[in-house]
A = this chain, B = another copy of it.
């Protein structure tokens, strides 16, 4: 009855699966011209850039949905609160900015008690303390099923400090912080133990030896330290992004925005020993996991070659490749000297199964 002014919507139907997340966002958000002089960058980067006079402000937002992004069977609510903040701050750092405030909105069904929500907020509080950000607003409401958390983060930076996804040029070095693939394997361990637990509720989970990947999945950190390190070294990345969807997918983002190709060297990809061990246990290819496993929240950036000496030998940073002309495409150089085209195979918000 109320759809009289939009009768066509009953007829046409394009499923979300068929269009894909990025196309959907592009489709939905086109035709939104920027009107404010203070809106310097809108949709399309890790965060939007606003100019409020002397310092520039960045704002970013992420929504986490129960059953899609987390499973309370094995995610402690305190860790969820912490992670919900961290994933947003990671986007702020990926702009080379300093996070300053967050807002948190939450929809919850009456399945949850106050104490449970307090635990979520205890995690949010821990993150605020660890990263020196202020919770300055939010909304709490009911839902008919499950829990949804929506966090928005603001940050500030000098105009000349902000780093975008665009800006990489051929010959720039491709650098990643920390190591990759751990968060994905943490999820596999948790899912395996959940299956065992569901089969026999007397069973205790076997998590020993896998602490590193579990922490990567359950309680990730944003790389504040890397931003501070680069500033101390007076190194400004030419382009930067955080690793939420997997290395392949993020390299392709940098490629698209910067108009360059990338050559990634398999032997240079930093991988923790626990990840090698678990890939064997799960019969998974380690490089596939490194390329497609999401949620590592490391920083991926490009540097002018003249800055190489400044970061060389730093155990937190790995040079994993370099930018090329766009025409050369985005490729992986394998250990046995084969060249394989990189494809985005990371997290797709409208699929339930994220197995690479």
Interface residues of A (CB under 8 A from B): 1-6, 8-9, 12-17, 19, 21, 24-25, 27-29, 31-32, 34-36, 38-39, 41-43, 47-48, 50, 52-55, 57, 59-63, 65, 67-69, 73-79, 100-101, 103, 105-108, 110, 112-119, 121, 125, 128, 132-146, 148, 150, 152, 154, 156, 190, 193-194, 197, 204-205, 218, 349-350, 352
Kindly report which residue of chain B lies nearest to residue A21, judged by CB atoms.
B140
Q: How far is the CA of A138 from the CA of B52 in the complex (A)?
A: 20
Q: Is the CB of B135 within 8 A of A29?
A: yes
Contact of A5 among B78, B132, B148 (CB under 8 A): B78
What are the residues of chain B within 8 A of A6 when measuring CB–CB? 76-78, 119
Counting every copy of the chain, the complex holds: 2
State in angstroms the CA–CA spacing of A349 and B106 once bound together.
Answer: 11
Nearest-neighbour CB distance to chain B for A5, whole angstroms, equals: 6
Contact A205 B76 (CB under 8 A): no
Q: Using known A-B contacts A1-B204, A135-B42, A136-B48, determine if residue A63 contacts B150 with beta carbons closer than 8 Å.
A: yes
Besides the contacts A12-B113, A67-B144, what 17 more A-B pairs have beta carbons closer than 8 Å? Answer: A2-B75, A8-B115, A12-B115, A16-B142, A24-B140, A29-B135, A31-B125, A35-B134, A39-B134, A43-B138, A48-B137, A50-B100, A62-B139, A63-B139, A65-B141, A143-B146, A144-B145
The CA-CA distance from A82 to B344 in the complex, in Å, is: 34
A9 in contact with B59 given A17-B110, A100-B39, A143-B68 (CB within 8 Å): no
B12 with A105: CB separation less than 8 A:
no
Tell me which residues across on chain B come within 8 A of A156, comparing CB atoms.
38, 52
| Contacting residue for A114 out of B24, B31, B68, CB 8 A | B24
Pairwise interchain contact B16-A114, C-beta atoms closer than 8 A: yes
